[in-house]
Amino acid sequence: MQVVGYRTPDVGVYVAGDREDDNTADVPDSDSHTRHRSVTFESFDSGRELSWSLGERHCAGVVTDEGHDACDVPDAPYCEHHQSTWVCARCTGTCLKDEMDCHDDHAVYLAAFAPDQFKVGVTKLWRLETRLREQGADRAAHIRTVDNGRIAREIESGLAAEIPDRVRVPKKIAGLDRAVDPTAWERLLAEFDPIETYDFDYGLSLSERPVAETLASGTVRGAKGRVVVIENGGTSYAVDLRDLVGYELEPEATDRQLQSSLGAFG
């Protein structure tokens, strides 16, 4: 079995392999290929016991409606032939497609990640809250609604000169046990007139920062965006789901040495 993708905010991973309990519904779309393996979705619900060890890691290939097309190239999570970039993510207002297709309403938003990491972003208006949860935002503010994605990207690009347009996962992990600095957040919002604000609770209730690790063994405590917190041996670990993509899974608990938090020795 190989991890070939992940999903948020309904958190879990797509696993490819020859299985009788095949369920290829609701898998990411891609180009058609001729050789396929079945794909299942493994949900990382809070309280679930995971018992996989990680084997070799190589390219995750491609997933289609028919299943998974494997790739043995050692580059991970994807080789140069299977690496794809969403062209709209690079847009700053000048459409990079042959024909612009983002004609529905878009939201421009600000997102906060504990304790004091902020970003500006855009998304289709109808999926604003979903997009914020996908990123694991602690707080957010919807600051503009515009007619299409081009205008939204122009506004985002202008604001990005002062407010970052991305927050890296290590920064998000560093604040998992903390709350958003309310003074810093209100100071940022004072420059705008928000249409609506959001305050998310992911139910993690951590007393100390989890140890950043890549594993799939232990008890799931919960998730925030694509970061899953797993309890193993008295220590909480923060696992970036993207870091699991490409790994072969063995059906047994990991036996490798893991770094422990100081709290594990209390």
CA distance 70 to 43: 22
Residue 206: name the closest of 224, 218, 233 by CA.
Answer: 224
CA distance 140 to 106: 15
Residue 117's CB is within 10 A of a number of other CB atoms, namely: 21
> Full-prediction pTM beyond 0.75?
yes
- Reported as a single tens digit per residue, the pLDDT across 173-183 is 999 999 999 99
- Reported as a single tens digit per residue, the pLDDT across 106-161 is 999 999 999 999 999 999 999 999 999 999 999 999 999 999 999 999 999 999 99
Q: Is the pLDDT of residue 75 over 60?
A: yes
What is the model's pLDDT at position 110?
Answer: 98
Q: Is the pLDDT of residue 33 over 50?
A: no
